[in-house]
Chain A
């Protein structure tokens, strides 16, 4: 089953959602939605991988065409990845049906 659209979820530290959208727009994304969240992690895993999880998070949800998924993910990895203070983790999910995308993209392009 092939999916025409995918939704990219990028979890970043609080205050980095603008950086996420800047990187995603460079790769061809149009707009996104930011959800405030709180992160938790396994303390031992944090020590082992030398990663600290800041509790205050933002989840940026970006709906993209499947064709630019990899470009957007690469941009996020390079610009707001774990080496950046944003400490972003991004992944994509297949989307089987979409409505309202044209009005959504119209608004974001205004």
Chain B
């Protein structure tokens, strides 16, 4: 005798929503935004990045490797750079990079390069909330 299997549709298990979503409390992925700019523009770009919900910046003095002998003789070499590491929420990456690209082309002596590297993990709820600028859950946790 052949029996027909009845497959009941199980209710969806609650899962942590990760990635692009409109839920402000959802877990959002983070990326490392690396910005290389002229050192005298460091403060300008740090202030600019505050507009994109970036809370953590690490600034490292650096210098460029492009060297032209003639420019060196003329004293025109300005190879003092700053490398700025920033942690940014994934949903802010596109806006931020577009805005940075515009600044690279419009600010005098403000040329630079920016790129992102996806993060695979972090640890600590408070640290995550700080890095992702997730103020919604921080308020709730404080109640």
Contacts and interface: CB of A to CB of B under 8 A. Distances in A.
A44 to B, nearest CB: 27
- Kindly state the interface size class of chain B when it binds its partner: 20 to 34
Given A7-B34, A103-B105, A110-B68, A95 B117 contact: yes
A52 to B, nearest CB: 25
Contacts of A96: 31, 93, 115-118
B117 A33 contact: no
Contacts of A97: 93-94, 97, 115-116
B113 interface: yes
Classify chain A's interface size.
20 to 34
A104 B117 contact: no
Given A7-B34, A99-B104, A100-B101, A31 B64 contact: yes
Interface string A62-96: 01000000000000000000000000000001111
A61 B114 CA distance: 12
Given A99-B104, A100-B100, A103-B104, A36 B114 contact: no
B25 to A, nearest CB: 25
Contacts of A34: 62-65
Nearest to B101: A99
B26 interface: no
Interface in B38-74: 60-66, 68, 71
B65 A17 contact: yes
Interface of B: 31, 34, 36, 60-66, 68, 71, 81, 83, 93-94, 97-98, 100-101, 104-105, 111-118
Interface of A: 5, 7, 17-18, 21, 31-36, 60-61, 63, 93-101, 103-104, 107-110
